C-alpha cells in the first residue's frame, strides 16, 4: 500500500492561525519575510514547508475571488409579474439533509422527459453579458419561458436568503 501523502494537510491549529492572519489581521499578500515567520511558527505543529504557507495565501486569495464571482451571481428575475410561462418547480431542499431514505429525483412536477432534441443554448463567447436570448424554451418545453436576462436583481428571492457559497 503505497499511500504517499504528497499533500500537506494543515492541522486545525495551523488553519486557525492562517485564517486569523488572513482575515483578522488582513494579511493577504505577505512578503517573503512574513511568510517565513509564519512558516516558522506553523512548522511547529506539523511538518510543513515554506511553500506550503505561500501557496496557502495564494489559494486563499484566489478563492476569495472565486467566491465573489459565485456570490454575485445574478439572480434570475424569474419572479416577474406573474409566472414565467411554465411551471418551474424548483423547490429543492437546499440545505436540508434529510435526503437519506427518501427518493428525490425528478422533483419537478412535470415529468415529460421526452425531450428529444434538447434545446441547447448557444455559448457564443462573443458577447459575455450581452443578451443571450436563449430561445431554448420553444423547442423543449422545459417549462417554457426559460429566457434569461442578465439583469441585476435588486429584489431578493423572497424568503430565501443568500446562503454561504464557498464558505466552509
Which option in its own copies, DNA, none does residue 111 bind, with CB closer than 5 to 8 A by kind? Answer: its own copies
* Distance in angstroms (rounded) separating the CA atoms of residues 110 and 89: 9
| From the list its own copies, DNA, none, partner contacted by residue 109 (C-beta under 5 to 8 A by kind) | none
Is residue 140 within the footprint of DNA (CB under 7 A)? no
For residue 106, is it left (φ>0), alpha (ψ between -120 and 50) or beta?
left
Contact 140, 64 (CB under 8 A): no
Identify what 79 binds: its own copies, DNA, none; CB under 5 to 8 Å per kind. DNA
Cell digits for 162? 443568500
Minimum distance of its own copies from residue 93's CB (angstroms): 7
Q: In this chain, which stretch among 36-44, 48-56, 112-120, 147-155 interacts with DNA, using CB under 7 A?
A: 48-56
Window 90-119: residues binding DNA (CB under 7 A): 97, 99-105
Helix pair angle (50-71, 32-42), 10° resolution: 110
Quote the distance between the C-alpha of residue 26 and its chain's center: 23
Question: Under the criterion CB under 7 A, does residue 82 sit at the interface with DNA?
Answer: yes
For residue 97, give the C-alpha cell.
439533509
Q: Quick check: 66 binds DNA (CB under 7 A)? A: yes
CB closer to DNA out of 23 and 166: 166
Q: For residue 107, how many other CB atoms are within 10 A of its CB? A: 11
145 scored as a contact of DNA (CB under 7 A): no
**Residue 129 CB contacts under 8 Å (≥ 6 apart), including other chains:** 150
25 near DNA, rule: CB under 7 A: no
Grid cell locating 41: 511558527
Q: Which residues sit at the interface with DNA, rule CB under 7 A?
A: 1-10, 15, 29, 31-32, 51-52, 55-56, 58-63, 65-66, 77-79, 81-82, 84, 87, 97, 99-105, 166, 168
Amino acid at each position: 500500500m503505497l499511500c504517499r501523502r504528497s499533500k500537506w494537510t494543515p492541522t486545525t491549529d495551523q488553519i486557525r492561525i492562517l485564517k486569523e492572519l488572513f482575515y483578522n489581521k488582513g494579511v493577504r499578500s505577505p512578503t517573503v519575510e512574513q511568510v517565513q515567520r509564519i512558516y516558522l511558527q506553523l512548522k511547529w505543529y506539523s511538518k510543513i514547508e515554506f511553500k506550503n504557507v505561500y501557496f496557502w495565501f495564494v489559494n486563499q486569495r484566489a478563492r476569495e475571488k472565486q467566491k465573489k464571482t459565485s456570490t454575485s451571481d445574478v439572480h434570475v428575475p424569474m419572479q416577474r409579474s406573474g409566472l414565467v410561462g411554465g411551471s418551474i418547480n424548483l423547490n429543492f431542499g437546499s440545505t436540508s439533509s434529510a435526503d437519506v431514505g427518501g427518493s428525490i429525483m425528478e422533483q419537478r412536477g412535470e415529468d415529460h422527459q421526452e425531450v428529444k432534441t434538447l434545446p441547447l443554448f448557444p455559448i457564443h463567447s462573443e458577447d459575455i453579458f450581452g443578451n443571450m436570448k436563449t430561445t431554448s424554451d420553444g423547442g423543449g418545453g422545459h417549462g417554457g419561458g426559460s429566457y434569461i436576462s442578465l439583469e441585476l436583481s435588486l429584489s431578493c428571492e423572497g424568503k430565501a436568503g443568500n446562503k454561504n457559497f464557498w464558505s466552509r
